[in-house]
Each structure stands twice: as structure tokens, then as C-alpha cells.
Structure 1
Amino acid sequence: MTSARRVPAFAVVLAVSFTLVGCTATSPSAVVPAPTFTPRVAPVQVDPVAQYASDRLSTMSLRQKVLSMLMVHIPGVSPADRISSDFADVGGFILMGDNIPSTLSQLTADTAALSDESGLPVLVATDQEGGIVRRVPTDDAASALELRDRDPQATFDAFAQRGALLESVGVSVNFGIVADVASDQSSFIYERSFGGTGADAGARVAEAVEGESPILSTLKHFPGHGAAAGDSHSSIPTTALSFDDWKSSHAVPFEDGIAAGAPLVMFGHLEFTAVDQEPATFSARWHEILRDDLGFDGVSITDDMGMLERSGVAEYSNQVTNAVRAIEAGNTMLLYVGAVDASGIVTAVSHAIDEGDLDEAVIDKAALKLLEMRRGLSGETGRFVHCLADCVSIAG
């Protein structure tokens, strides 16, 4: 009889142990996943005004965006009572002499009524230069003609007084700072200019901008009415002045005003033929010069577009064609003091986009800039916040 071979007890224990360990290691329920780490995303600062504007833009139709680029005039006192549906979405209103009531309290009520949304007020503008050009008659601060021979500090004081008056009656934009250099007393712009040299005018332009804050200052009439003889209300003033000569003289007050913080520049209907055969309003080159050479990143607005129609130049007689050309050139906003076919302009812009002559991104960029400017006036701008890259909402 052959006896069975004996297996040592410790070997049996080891075998069982290894088997159990193997089973445990391969059991899905017992697998411990390796820890994962999400890379830390650096917080970014979100500008609530820019965020609001971007969000608002995404909800707007093309019609609303184009209308937001228009500033119009509604004749008569209490203009809000006569705003038609065609103008319901315009971005701004200009007050002329016929809009000014007998009391400042009534004017304040009238300007307040122009905005339907407290969070996105329209731009309310006027021409308050002082002297021969003023809409609010109680303004007795010194004019440019009086200030051109005084210390520049006097300009700050005058425009601080002027700005306080405008702010008190609800005007947010002043087309009141003439940055044109005029040494010739026969020039129609002479009485409205701060100086006969770029340096003299520039020093006073800068003081005017700083003085009338928080009113949104506008520098006019780019690239400089003093360089071109004639009146752009009834013609297209033209000059052959070279770019270098312009840069050393007529550009200076605009540079100084931009450096002082002016948020708007008004384009004049002026031809500088050595730079571009087109009036500056229609000139992409002059817009490039303003932004690239002078460093301006604010709102560019045309002078009254009706002036082009009245210039006597047949090419500029069509209002809707002019509007498309002005937008293509780079204007952020178009100003109309007389009658305006707002629906016709919208249709013309839409057609230009459909035909590939105008990129809708140009409209979006302008509308966004105007939304930011208007939101900044609301008092409901919220605060800068820190959030991660996927942050989509902020305190408003």
C-alpha cells in the first residue's frame, strides 16, 4: 500500500493566502481609483459693463443694432412725447434750441423722459460751446473766443461750470469742445476756436475735457475745420494741406484732448486731398489715423449727416447711401438733426451686408461700444469681480 505524500501545513497556508490576495486584487468592487486633479484655473477680472453690453448685444436684432447707432433730433419741447416707433431703439437724441423749455426743471424732466430703461439710458447730447453756440441759455461761462487769450486754467473753470449745468439738466454728451485751430479771423470757425496754433488750442482743449467731466466730451471737427476754408453746413471745405503739416499743427488739439480722456470725436465733412479724396466722414484712412496714429479708442460720431445732402455735391444727395458709406468708413454713430429715414437706413445696411459690401461684425463692434458707453451712464454698472474662466454671471 502506497501512502499519500504529505504537504507541509505552512505550504497550504501560503497557497491559500496567495489565492485570496489574487482574487482581491482582480475584484472590480475593490479597485481604488487613482486620484485625479483638476488644473487650477487662474481667476480673471470681469468688467460688469462689458459683460452687460456683450449679453445685451446677443439679444439684439440687426435692426436694433443699426438704430442704436443713430442719434436723432425730435423737434419741439418735450420731445419724448413725439418719439415714433421708427425711433424706439435709437441710441441717442440731440437737443437743439427748439427743445429747450422755459425752465431748467422742465428740461430735466424732458431729458429723463427720453430713456425707457434706467439700466441703459440713451445718450442725450447738445452743442454747448458757450458764446454764439449754446442751447441752454443760462450758461454764462466764458466761450472759446474769450478763453483763447486767458490762462488755460480759465478754460478748466469755464467748462467745469458748463459741465455742472449740463449734468444738472440730464444732458450726458456735449458737442462743445471745438478742437479746430483757427488763426484767420475771416474763418467762420474762428470765434469758436481756442487758439491760432496747435499748442495754444491744444492746451485749452485738454483743460475743457478735464473740466466738464463727468459729461462725455466730444472733440470736433476732425481732422480740423480751421485748415479748410468754407462752411461745411453748405459745402465740402477742401484743403491740400500735407499730412506732415497737419500732424504738426491741426492734429495737436485732438491729440491733447484724447490724452485728457475725451470719449467722443466728431468727424467733419472736410476733404484733405493730400490724404484722401473722400470727405473725412467717408474716409477709412482718416478713421485709421484717428485710431492708430492718435490712439483714440472711443466713439466716433459724424457731424450732422444732413449737411452732406445740402452740400451741393450730387454724389452726397442720397441719405441712405451716405449712411452706409459712413458706417463702412468706421463711424460708430451717425448724427441727424433734420428728417431721417431710419427704416430706410436699416434696409440699406441689411442689403449691404447681404451683398457682402459690409461685414455685420462692423455693426456689432459699433453697437457694442455704444452699449458700453450707455451702460456706464446708468449707475447700475455693478462691480469688477474675480471669477474662473467659465464664469458667466456677475453682480449687476
Structure 2
Amino acid sequence: MRSRRGIRRAALALTLATASALAVTGCAAGAPRTAQHSAAGSSATPEPTKTVDPATAYVNARLANMTLRQKVASLLMLHQPGTDGAALRGFVDRYGVGGMILMGDNVPGSPAALAAQNAAMTASDPQLPPLVAIDEEGGDVTRLPWDTLPGADVLKAQPPAATQAAFSQRAALLKQAGVTVNFGTIADTTADPGSFIYDRVLGTTPAAAADRVAASVTGERGQVFSTLKHFPGHGETEADSHTSIPTTGVSVADWRARDAPPFGAGIAAGTELVMFGHLVYSAVDAAPASLSAPWHRILSDTLGFHGVTITDDMRMLQDSGLPQYANAEENAVQALAAGNTMLLYVLPADPAAAGLDPDALIDAVVAAVGSGRIPAAQIDADARKLLELRHALATKE
């Protein structure tokens, strides 16, 4: 314990120090806080250094250096037949597309050959490889001859754990082959054997389909990017969207009860992509969902999905034979204006033979931005989403 004299000395010292500080403060009245600290002889607390995530910095820099035309081109996923990786790489570089879809005519005889082909196709820009997608559902839709795992026709009668196991093993096959996106999860549901999609659905009731859709996404996680298709659901009609525009008058309430649950479950499980179908739900919009802004708002606002959206093959609109969808360039503009992140085109070796020209598609979208039909900020946001997804491939361990 201190003596009384020590206490008095300490008190006197404190009084003098306080008076001195007040005098200095008074001289600096009205000065900024940093000036007051300087006059008092104390240093200001430095602000914490802001760290920028390297992936974000990369995407910011890449986006800032892209022209509008390059941004628009990056929103296309195309197909070119063949198994020559170098030729496919030339096709990617020719148009600057953000992705390629593999069909049966792109699949060589072995997993090793496909891996080498995909490695060659994506070698131009290791930090930003194009997405490499495939429809590998199993069962009726199987592109890889060596994929003998069960598909929905079998899995719908088994517990959800069987779906998770099958999709996990299938995703491993795809990853080994250099495929990065699987258009493999059917989130449609129907109990109607007359529907063309019936053999491909993972469940014949909303609850059964939801359980297996979530299981498929969980199984693919960390190996390939998952995709739910065909939003808002193919199960309400028997018609085939490859040759027509299936149309239903089902109410929004019935859609929520019957068709939405599997999509909601897959979104909750973490799917990275949702594919929009060329399907008309007239209670929401007279336009197909792939060209419908209201359906894109429902997906984001009601189901909470904010990832990458992609159309089903855009050529299917033309193949419907309906005159309002005969113009490929106009379809592209409408699809992006509606809210799709990416447009899918399955092209033949000569795109002109299908009445398509990738350059003309890009030109039409660039012109639509110039005229104000599509906001430039929307193109930037879409391009950013895809840059992030593609760059994530380069930074995966």
C-alpha cells in the first residue's frame, strides 16, 4: 500500500498532466481529431489494411479489360462436332465463347481420350477456361458409353441415398474426363407415363422428386457444377419441347404445389445452375419461360436462386415452327433481356446449315445494348457471374 505522501504526489502529478492536456486541447479547439492527437504528441490509430480476395481482384481486372462484344460472346455456350481438341480450341477462340457443350459426336472411345481432348480444348487460357458441359443424366440420356450407373428410371424406385451415390460416382467420371458442368439433374416431376419426360424424372410426386433432386446435387458437389432442368417444370404437359412449345394453363398455386418443390430442394442443396425450358405457363406469361422476365423473377425472388441461369438449346425455339420464334437473333436478345445469364446452342459443323451465325447473334445483342433494350449493367453482371464460375475452375485444388 502507498504512503499518504506518495498518494498526494501522484494526485498532484495527475492534476498537472490533466491541466496540460486541457491547455493543449484548448489551443487546438476546432481542429480535426487527427490534428489534436498530433498536438498532444500521440499518434492516430492506423486504419486496418483492406485485403482484396485474389479471385475477386482477377475477375474485376478481367471484366474491366473486356469489350462489350467480348462480354456478350462470353455469355454463349456452343457446340461443335468432333474429337480433335485443338480444332475445338480454335472454335472456342474464334468466337470467344464462355462454354462448350459436348454431345455424342464429341465423345471418343475412352475416358483418357476424352480427358486429353478437353484439356486441349481448354488450354488457351488456364486462368479462365471455358465451361465444359454435358447432358449426363444416366438412363435414357447418357453421352458416355462407360457410364453404366443407374439413371432416373431406376433411381426413382430406390431411396434418395441411391441417387446421391449414383450422381457422386457419375460426377467423378465427368471430373476425370475434364467435364465441369453436368446438365444432369431432372427437376421436372410427373406421374403421367404419357409424358415424354416421364422416364427421366427422379420422382413421380413433388416430395419424392425433391428428395432425389437434392440428393443428386449433393452427390455432385465439389466435383462438377450441378444444373437443375427444365425450369419451371416439364411435367404439366405431355408435349415435347424439342419440336413444340408445350403450353399449360395450370395456376400459379398448383405450380407452387406440384412443380416448384424439386427446384426449391435443388437450390437449397446448392446447385450452381438452373436451365430454363421453352415452356409456356400462360397463368404467368404468354412467352416461354426461357424468354420470360416474370419467370426469372419468380426463380430469384420466390425460390431464392441467384446463380447462373442458362437456356435450353435455343434452336428448339426455331424448331417449333412458330413464326414468332423464327428469328434466331431476336430470340437471343429476348432471352438475355428476360434474365438468362447464358444462352445454349447445339450447332452442327456448319452453323449456317441450321440458320445460325454466332457472330450475328453477338452483333444482335451488342446492338440491343446500344439501343437500350438490354442494359449494359446487366451484361456486366452476367459476364461477371460467368467469370467467377470459370475462374473458380482454375483455382480449385
TM range (shorter): 0.7 to 0.9
Gap change, CA 1:40 and 1:95, over 3 Å in 2: same
Max radius of gyration: which structure? 1
Match for residue 93 of structure 1?
100
Match for residue 198 of structure 2?
190
Identical aligned residues as a percent:
50
Residue 249 of structure 1, aligned match among 248, 254, 258: 258
The reply on whether 1:324 has 2:330 as its aligned counterpart is no
1:205 partner SS: helix
Gap change, CA 1:143 and 1:38, over 3 Å in 2: same
1:265-322 CA distances to partner (integer Å, 9 max, x unpaired)? Answer: 0000000000111100110000001011101011000000000011111110111111
1:180 partner SS: coil
Is the contact between residue 86 and residue 342 of structure 1 (CA under 8 Å) also seen in structure 2? no
Is the contact between residue 182 and residue 195 of structure 1 (CA under 8 Å) also seen in structure 2? yes
**1:229 CA displacement:** 2.8
The reply on whether 1:365 has 2:372 as its aligned counterpart is no
Structure with more relative contact order (C-alpha pairs < 8 Å, separation 6 or more): 1
1:355-396 CA distances to partner (integer Å, 9 max, x unpaired)? Answer: 122211111000000000001010279xxxxxxxxxxxxxxx
Match for residue 387 of structure 1?
none
2:344 partner SS: strand
Determine the C-alpha separation between the residues in 1 that align with 2:189 and 2:85: 35
The reply on whether 1:336 has 2:342 as its aligned counterpart is no
TM-score, normalised by the number of residues in structure 1: 0.85
CA RMSD of aligned residues (A): 1.7
Relative to total residues, which structure has the larger helix share, 1 or 2?
A: 2
The reply on whether 1:124 has 2:140 as its aligned counterpart is no
Is the contact between residue 80 and residue 113 of structure 1 (CA under 8 Å) also seen in structure 2? yes
Match for residue 298 of structure 1?
307
Is the contact between residue 75 and residue 98 of structure 2 (CA under 8 Å) also seen in structure 1? yes
The reply on whether 1:59 has 2:65 as its aligned counterpart is yes
Structure 1 letter corresponding to 2:213: V
Is the contact between residue 228 and residue 270 of structure 1 (CA under 8 Å) also seen in structure 2? no
Structure 1's unaligned 5+ residue stretches are 1-32, 382-396
Structure 1 letter corresponding to 2:114: L
Residue 201 of structure 1, aligned match among 197, 209, 213: 209
Residue 246 of structure 2, aligned match among 237, 243, 253: 237
Q: How many residues were matched structurally? A: 349
Determine the C-alpha separation between the residues in 1 that align with 2:87 and 2:321: 34
Determine the C-alpha separation between the residues in 1 that align with 2:43 and 2:294: 52
Structure 2's unaligned 5+ residue stretches are 1-37
Gap change, CA 1:355 and 1:204, over 3 Å in 2: same
Is the contact between residue 127 and residue 394 of structure 2 (CA under 8 Å) also seen in structure 1? yes
**1:50 CA displacement:** 2.3
The reply on whether 1:103 has 2:110 as its aligned counterpart is yes
Is the contact between residue 111 and residue 177 of structure 2 (CA under 8 Å) also seen in structure 1? yes
Is the contact between residue 130 and residue 390 of structure 2 (CA under 8 Å) also seen in structure 1? yes
For 1:1-396, list aligned pairs within 5 A.
Answer: 34=39, 40-42=46-48, 44=50, 46-82=52-88, 83-84=90-91, 87-115=94-122, 116-213=124-221, 214-338=223-347, 339=351, 340-379=356-395
Is the contact between residue 194 and residue 238 of structure 2 (CA under 8 Å) also seen in structure 1? no
**1:232 CA displacement:** 0.4
1:117 partner SS: coil
Is the contact between residue 329 and residue 364 of structure 2 (CA under 8 Å) also seen in structure 1? yes
Determine the C-alpha separation between the residues in 2 that align with 1:250 and 1:259: 15
1:202-240 CA distances to partner (integer Å, 9 max, x unpaired)? Answer: 100000001122210000000000113300001000001
Is the contact between residue 119 and residue 380 of structure 1 (CA under 8 Å) also seen in structure 2? no
Is the contact between residue 229 and residue 239 of structure 1 (CA under 8 Å) also seen in structure 2? no
Runs of 4+ in 1 over 6 A off after TM superposition: none
Is the contact between residue 99 and residue 132 of structure 2 (CA under 8 Å) also seen in structure 1? yes
TM-score, normalised by the number of residues in structure 2: 0.85
1:28-66 CA distances to partner (integer Å, 9 max, x unpaired)? Answer: xxxxx7368656435555333222111110000111101
